Structure 1
Amino acid sequence: MPTAHALAGLITRLHDPQYARWAAQIRRTGGCRRPVHLRGTVEHYDRATGRLLHRYSTSTEPDGVLRVPCKTRRASRCPSCAETYRADTYHLIRAGLIGGKGVPETVTSHPCLFVTLTAPSFGPVHTRRENNGTVLPCHPRRDAATCPHGRVMSCTARHGSDDARLGEPLCPDCYDYTGSVLFNALAPELWRRFTLALRRHLAKLGGLAPRAMRDQLMVSFAKVAEYQRRGVVHFHAVIRLDGPDGPTSPPPAWATLDLLGEAVRHAASAVTATIPALDGQPERVLRWGDQLDIRPISMDGELTAQAVAGYIAKYATKYATKAAECVGTLDQRILPTADLAALPVRDHARRLIAECLRLGALDELACLRLTQWAHMLGFRGHFATKSRRYSTTLGALREARAAHKRDEQISVGRLPLFDEDTVLVIAHWQYAGQGLSAGDALLAAAITGVPMPSAVGGDAR
């Protein structure tokens, strides 16, 4: 139920003489929940004569500001901007699989695998298992052992998909919280070492030196990170073999799909990351989990390029845009002095956060910055990454979208038609706040159809 303050703000905005222009700004942000407010001017000058051709100033805009999308990737903060990122990621992945956006359609003939690299086990957790649509018992054990803490390591429940226990350890006191946090922190490094080992082994299988392979073969990839319910990340990746010029050139005949699969299996089992001795325990070696999923991608096979593009884009929006809050933690940083008991998180996530803060205080692990990334349960890598030559870039997609909007503004007369070679553009912008008042949020939801949360106000001023 809207508050009296929100209703008063809504009525005030509706009676504003500039309401139509304000509504147009809101539509242009696409329903952004926390639009950035800018003050400034843009001036167009003739380079030859110095004559002012056109001048735009926010002084004539509603509230004296221009509202632009916040462009966050987190759906918890702005679903509208997160959806734009999801769509861009989809097209980026799709272009590398079936062509488009500057990638030739012949890329579909290149050897390509969909690979899932998982995390190792840090202790049994409640899980949902299915077989042909039938939900199976979680961890049925006829002669289940009792752990040192007095808990029977068995669970016969058939968990629903929204069961709060999913991902929770059968015994929290036995669970390896240290290993879970350290794996998240080192997952980006494990991925880097995996790609290096993959290239080296491909060169070995081809009878080439690693440097010489660059003249014949290029490994291209795109990957996204997914948080499992237990709070650890694993990676889904498209890995493709190209010729030396990237997707525009075919790989050599010896670079087959089977060869790529063999190299992936070798690299996944070979790479490790070592943690120095902590708490009187010996040094620890972390590696990928035993579950390695490798599936070929083909336009006429069971796993099509279209399906993989949609699958990875789904995870890009479900996880990359949600960060770690989808497993019961927060979407903002946690101070070391915070009262963990008061945080609105699951007990399992609370323990993981506490372990991040404890390990982050150790000098031996200062480089992992676990304290700063406690809200991410130790993971500080990018959720969606790709190799340089896989396909187009997010920057190129944004530039194309900006050019389209600019052409649209020129067509309706809001911007002058000019030649960039003969016109000098000088812009001055100043940050003036962010967010929407309660009343403006209600109106924005009605205008764009994007639901607003109960509290979306920012520091707009």
Structure 2
Amino acid sequence: MKSSMFEPEVVQELALKEGVCVRPLLNRVTDRQTGDTTVVVMPCRSTRESRCPSCANAARRLRIQQCAEGWHLDQEPTGPEQEPEAATDELEEEEDVVDEEEVPERRVRSTRRRSDVADLPLKPTENRTIGAVFEGNLGRRYRPSMFVTLTLPSYGSIATGRGVPIDPSSYDYRTAALDALHFTKLLDRWIQNLRRCAGFKVQYFGAIEAQRRLAAHFHVALRGAIPRSILRKVTRATYAQVWWPSCDEPVYVDRVPVWDGVDYLDPDTSIPLTTWEDAMAELDEDPHAKPAHTLSFGRQVDIKGLLGGTPDADRSVRYLTKYLTKAVAETYTQAEVFDAEYEAHIDRLHDEVRYLPCTPSCANWLRFGIQPKQAGPGLQPGRCSSAAHDRENLGVGGRRVQVSRGWSGKTLSDHRADRAAVVKKVLEEAGYTAPDADRMSAETLATDGEPRYLWQTVHLPPQKASEAIITSVLERRRWRNEYDRAKAAQVSTGPPVENHSATDGEVEREE
């Protein structure tokens, strides 16, 4: 093979064409039993197309499968409840989350609803997660589900089709930033309210995306039919309050509090800043205290009823997951076209997001004269480690995908294993040896009871890394050729099968 083939640009183009990871993780695996050493190439599994299109597309296909498999069930899922998985890259799977207000580490506030919002139409809850069956003409029975889109309110007039404020000076960037940072709290509250009003244990698969104006919105698939009037009432009646100390006026802008080993001190007076615990206690004791921020949905609510197995349902699954491979700020930008006004809009929103607190332990509390919860050395306003503050995320640093525990009865790892099992079965039935993903697992034990294989990260020079990518490409081609031949043999010898699905035509490209 000519050396020109190992040029990084050529190798990356080849990897993208074959659906191979462009920034693989290299590991040296030593077999303690035999002494043999092997370099194993593993995909990075990034969910961002700007970092690795191949892995991002594989992650999206997996989400498509997960969404489609749990949406239109006609029987209760029987698998174990899903547990929140460890975060991998930016795209995470989160489950039903209890709001911070409900954590019993401090005084519980009154649950009385605000007087300026609509009452919730409460309904007794049936012990089911699947939707009701309806009977139509000629005795036809069907079980519809819902597809809903929720948006945030307006922060100022936007130029049509461009996503930039007509008057940036009057656009409410601060509220937009706070809404983005706490959007998931509002979604959690909406799901809780919906379950109280729908009459059954509603299950959901939703994705947070960005509108062109950069405000977050939520596409969600709901299993079962819910009256549109109920959905609209619940949306109007849902709000979330953030009971934190005030972060309206920054105290330290040009100065930075100093860490003395125990507390953060005022840089001029050396007086310790108020601790998080004291600030919250003061808030609890104030009978006239108001939440630091209150957020609610905008007026626009899009609601559709869909039947499983229809083209509209398949299209909705793909639409729901369309932008999961892009960061919030990347959603509507194009590498080949630079829009100065749009970039300035992103910068102004990022300036707000960067310095507002995201959690009780956020370093930005120092900017407002409060020591963060569990404060330690090295904290500096504007440098919180949370991805929510990054320019690419604009307040939405995680939880882009939200899935209820009872959606499909499977974890994301289970769905990934299902895809691999389909490929393995087809190959083995055709007489091919399927690749064993666990052949060098760290869980495999040697005769002494210790792990047989020792894994060590390897950092190779660009030339060697390119060779490793090409090796992965050749291996992928071999697997695909074997799989294609195995499928052809299965079609020619087996009975007719129905293979239409939301992931049709994609499984052969899975890692």
Aligned to 2:496: none
Between 372-381 and 193-202, report the one with greater CA deviation. 372-381
CA distance in 2, matches of 1:28, 1:173: 45
1:143-179 Cα deviation digits (max 9, x unpaired): xxxxxxxxxxxxxxxxxxxxxxx11110111111101
Report how far residue 304 of structure 1 moved. Answer: 3.2
- Whether the aligned pair in 2 keeps the contact of 1:329 and 1:350 (CA below 8 Å) is no
**Mapping 1:79-118, distance limit 5 Å:** 79-98=53-72, 109-118=142-151
1:121 partner letter = S
Aligned to 2:452: 426
Structure 2 CA distance, aligned partners of 1:173 and 1:126?
14
Matched, 1:231 2:214: yes
Q: Distance in 2 between matches of 1:225 and 1:378?
A: 12
CA distance, structure 1, for counterparts of residue 58 and residue 217 of structure 2: 24
CA drift of 1:403 comes to 5.0
> Map of 1:45-444 to 2, 5 A cutoff?
57-58=37-38, 65-98=39-72, 109-128=142-161, 166-203=162-199, 217-241=200-224, 257-258=226-227, 261-275=228-242, 277-279=246-248, 283-299=292-308, 304-313=312-321, 315=322, 318=323, 320-327=324-331, 346-360=343-357, 361-363=364-366, 371=384, 372=386, 373-374=388-389, 375=391, 376-391=393-408, 392-402=410-420, 411-412=432-433, 426-433=452-459, 437=463, 440=467
TM-score, length basis structure 2: 0.54
Q: Is the 8 A contact 2:152 2:217 kept in 1?
A: yes
Q: Retained in 2: the 8 A contact 1:114–1:297?
A: yes
Please tell me the root mean square deviation across aligned C-alpha atoms, in Å.
Answer: 4.8
SS at match of 2:452: strand
Q: Which runs of 5+ in 1 are unaligned?
A: 1-6, 14-21, 44-51, 59-64, 129-165, 204-216, 242-255, 331-342, 450-461
Contact 1:35-1:435 at 8 Å conserved across structures: no
1:95 and 1:103 in contact (8 A); partners too = no
Contact 1:359 1:370 in 2 (8 A): no
- Mapped contact 1:225–1:236 kept (Cα < 8 A): yes
Q: Distance in 2 between matches of 1:404 and 1:38?
A: 27
Equivalent pair of 1:36/1:69 in contact (CA under 8 Å): yes
**Paired AA for residue 395 in structure 2:** G
- Going from structure 1 to structure 2, the CA distance change for 1:415 and 1:296 (only over 3 Å counts) comes to closer
Measured in 1, the distance between the counterparts of 2:190 and 2:158 equals 27
CA offset digits 1:207-255 (Å, max 9, x no partner): xxxxxxxxxx3211100111112111100001124xxxxxxxxxxxxxx
Task: Give TM-score, length-normalised by structure 1.
Answer: 0.60
State the Cα deviation string for residues 96-117 of structure 1 (Å, max 9, x = none): 234599969x979444211101
The letter for the 2-side match of 1:57 is T
Q: SS at the partner of 1:89? A: helix
How far did 1:396 drift?
0.8
State the SS of the aligned residue for 1:188.
helix
TM-aligned CA deviation for residue 186 of structure 1: 0.8
In the alignment, the residues of structure 2 paired with residue 402 and residue 112 of structure 1 have an alpha-carbon distance, to the nearest angstrom, of 29
Aligned partner of residue 170 in structure 2, secondary structure = coil
Give the Cα–Cα distance (whole angstroms) in 2 for the partners of residues 34 and 175 of structure 1.
40
Aligned mates of 1:307, 1:426 — CA distance in 2: 46
Aligned length: 335
Partners of 1:31 and 1:444 within 8 A in 2: no
Within 1, Cα distance between the matches of 2:74 and 2:316?
A: 16
Whether the aligned pair in 1 keeps the contact of 2:145 and 2:222 (CA below 8 Å) is yes
Structure 2 Cα separation of the partners of residues 435 and 350 of structure 1: 36
For residue 297 of structure 1, report the CA deviation from its aligned partner: 1.2
Aligned equivalents of 2:437, 2:301: Cα separation in 1: 56
Distance (Å, rounded) in 1 between the aligned partners of 2:437 and 2:307: 47
The residue matched to 1:346 in structure 2 has which SS?
A: helix
Cα 1:290/1:435, change in 2 over 3 Å: farther
